[in-house]
Amino acid sequence: MNEKIFRLKTFEKASYCRHFEEEVIKNLKLKNINIPTYVSAGQEFIAASMATICEDLKIKPLIFGQHRCHSIYISFGGDKVKLIDELLGRKTGCTKGMGGSASIASKEINMFGHDGLMGSNGPIGVGACFATNHPTIVFLGDAAAEEDYVLGGLGWASTKNIPLITVVEDNNLSILTEKKVRRNWEMSDVAKSFKMQGYNIDDDPIDLLKYSEIFFKKPCLLNVNTNRIFWHAGAGKDSDDTFDRYEEEKKRLGEDALAIDKKIKEEIKNLWKKQLEK
Amino acid sequence: MEKTVREIIKETSRDHIKKNNSLIFGQCLSAVGWVGGTVPELTEKEGLIELSMADVANGGIVAGAGLSNRRPIYVIRYQGFNWFNASIILNYACKSKEIWNVPCPIFIRGIAMEGSIGPVAGSSQHSIYFKMPGIKIISPMTPNEYLIAYKDFMKNDDVMYVSEHRGSYSNTKELNDHLDDNLDLILFPISITRFEAQKAKIELEKEGYKIGIANILWIKPFLIKKEWEKAVIKSKFGGVVLDDDYTDGVASNLAYQLIKRTKKNFEVMGLKDRSAGFSKTTDNLPPSKEEIIKKCKEIIDKKGKL
């Protein structure tokens, strides 16, 4: 795919994620949302890039996300109205109000829910991938990736040579504990030690695109360095200096991105307004 | 010739894989013995899947396979290994239907045994699963009971924990309830204790005691049969729940449910409240015939004198 087209397609998905999350933040502050909420703003280019790549490959993967999963859901085409309803705790939500922010699922996009045990989606995704031999993506945080059962699952995935991509969304934080305090190793090296292809990259869409040739052929792991703009849970900010990939891409893509951003901002705003009025 | 429980498990498993394109997961399945002769001698290509030794991850892998609706069988060769295996099964597979409307049927074969095998590997551990929602627990000790468990699993889409015991594998006989009127006491045995309960009843009856037996096959849901209820209410001293697990779990809970229903006294017997060691002198075994007899006499004689 042409680089510019790929960037724009990815930006469009990321824009839906970003503006959705901005409405989430607004409604958290207004207390319209009253549940623990894990906002994915800042990290959206990972899911958006993976979804764009899968579309291009004409693959509809099995998806196993975890708690910070709004961007995964939206990027892969999850119904945004149902996600709004879910966050509002309604029966019409994508998980009938049971999933909240952290445990959302959608049969339409092959997205399975998460149980709340950090990293359990690792081995579960491995098992689903093995039993179906269907392309599968597991999204983990850098802290969840440390769970011993994630590592056990990865080792077995490598042994069985299944079409699995494990994406570690590495925002360097477990709540507020930095990675260097918790460990002196990288997940990409762990993957290599399991004889899988493992890479440590940035969340620039082109960096992800570069590796798409290996996707779903053999198990691989991408540790993608990214930034979480808001708190672990809730609407506050850890810092005002956090690098923002969305703003970077908007600048890079110029007028085209500005038009997309403006159009989607309005669209999402209206979507929320309509649902809140119900 | 009648079939043993072992043969029925093996046949059922083989048929299950072939008819349903299913999978059998476990550790060391194809090692010597094929898990006590219950695992069909198949290859990975045919559906027999060797897992690594990562027990916690393995529970997750099998839960993931359950989502594919291939109805996997998961062999856990010692029930104590459930301390690792159960976490993702209970928190994901068992909740998946309720939370996400995605059934995750898995047939979990938890295998118990006893005798000088230490603090983890011995005995039944069905109490680990008992308190959680979304799971059925059954403990078949006879060929027909095993088929009941399997048929129920295939008819529904639940996670089923099958609390097996190696001591039952050679059994060919069905174990019936014995519920006459005007009994002194009724035994409610679970798992391997059902065989000792039968022996204890025979011995006690030789001495003039009137002992009934109500075999507990279904642990969860635990349905108190009408004839059990009737017999307990008519009995002189209520009953005793016997288990191959620690008493602070399934046994006490079922006894409580029986007390609530019948308003009669119930006691429990199971593993002693201590760790098991690796020798005959340090074992922690389920109630033996002698211990059951002693307990029954204590209840009947003590209360009979009051």
pLDDT of residue B51: 98
Going across the sheet that includes B73-76, the strands are: B48-50, B24-26, B73-76, B107-112, B159-165, B135-138, B218-220
Q: Among B58, B67, B87, select the one facing A128 at the smallest CB separation.
A: B67
Total domains in the fold of chain A? 1
What is the spatial distance between Cα B173 and Cα B22, in angstroms, rounded to a whole number?
29
Task: For residues A9-33, give the mean pLDDT.
Answer: 97
Question: Mean pLDDT score of chain B, rounded to an integer?
Answer: 96
Q: Do A149 and B70 touch (CB under 8 A)?
A: no
Per cent of chain A over pLDDT 70 is 100
ipTM of the complex: 0.95
Question: Mean pLDDT score of chain A, rounded to an integer?
Answer: 96
pLDDT of A136 above 80:
yes
pLDDT of residue B304: 67
Instruction: Residue A33: give the domain boundaries.
Output: 3-277
Is the peptide bond between B119 and the residue preceding it cis, with omega within 30 degrees of 0? no
Go through the domains of chain B in sequence order and give each one's CATH number.
Answer: 5-168 (3.40.50.970), 185-305 (3.40.50.920)
pLDDT of residue A241: 87
pLDDT of residue B153: 98
Q: Do A152 and B92 touch (CB under 8 A)?
A: no
- Where are the strands (E) in chain B, listed by range? 24-26, 48-50, 73-76, 107-112, 135-138, 159-165, 185-189, 211-213, 218-220, 239-246, 266-271
Number of residue pairs across A and B with CB atoms under 8 Å? 114
What is the spatial distance between Cα B103 and Cα B98, in angstroms, rounded to a whole number?
8
What is the spatial distance between Cα B197 and Cα B190, in angstroms, rounded to a whole number?
9
**How far out from the chain centre does Cα B296 lie?**
23
Q: How confident is the model at residue B122 (pLDDT cuts 50, 70, 90)?
A: confident
Mutate to test the interface with A, among B23, B56, B74, B95 (most CBs of A within 10 A): B56
- pLDDT tens figures, A204-258: 999 999 999 999 999 999 999 999 988 877 777 878 888 999 999 999 999 999 9
pLDDT of residue B305: 61
Q: Among A99, A115, A131, select the one facing B68 at the smallest CB separation.
A: A131
pLDDT of residue A69: 96
pLDDT of residue A79: 98
Q: How confident is the model at residue B302 (pLDDT cuts 50, 70, 90)?
A: confident
- Where are the strands (E) in B68-144, listed by range? 73-76, 107-112, 135-138
Q: Do B61 and A130 touch (CB under 8 A)?
A: yes
CATH code for the domain of A98: 3.40.50.970
How is B19-80 classified by DSSP, letter by letter? HHT--EEESSTTSTTHHHHTS----TTTTEEE--S-HHHHHHHHHHHHHTTS--EEEESSGG
Nearest of B76, B192, B188 to residue B128 by alpha carbon: B76
Q: Among B49, B60, B66, select the one facing A123 at the smallest CB separation.
A: B60
pLDDT of B306 above 80:
no
Nearest of B119, B121, B120, B127 to residue B90 by alpha carbon: B127
Query: Which chain B residues in 61-90 lie under 8 Å from chain A, judged by CB atoms?
Result: 61-68, 70, 72, 87-88
What is the spatial distance between Cα B16 and Cα B109, in angstroms, rounded to a whole number?
14
Instruction: Give A-chain residues touching B22 at CB under 8 angstroms.
Output: none
Token pair for residue B256? 């409580």
- pLDDT tens figures, A77-96: 999 999 999 999 999 999 99
Token pair for residue A162? 């299944």
pLDDT of A146 above 60:
yes
- pLDDT tens figures, B54-71: 999 999 999 999 999 899
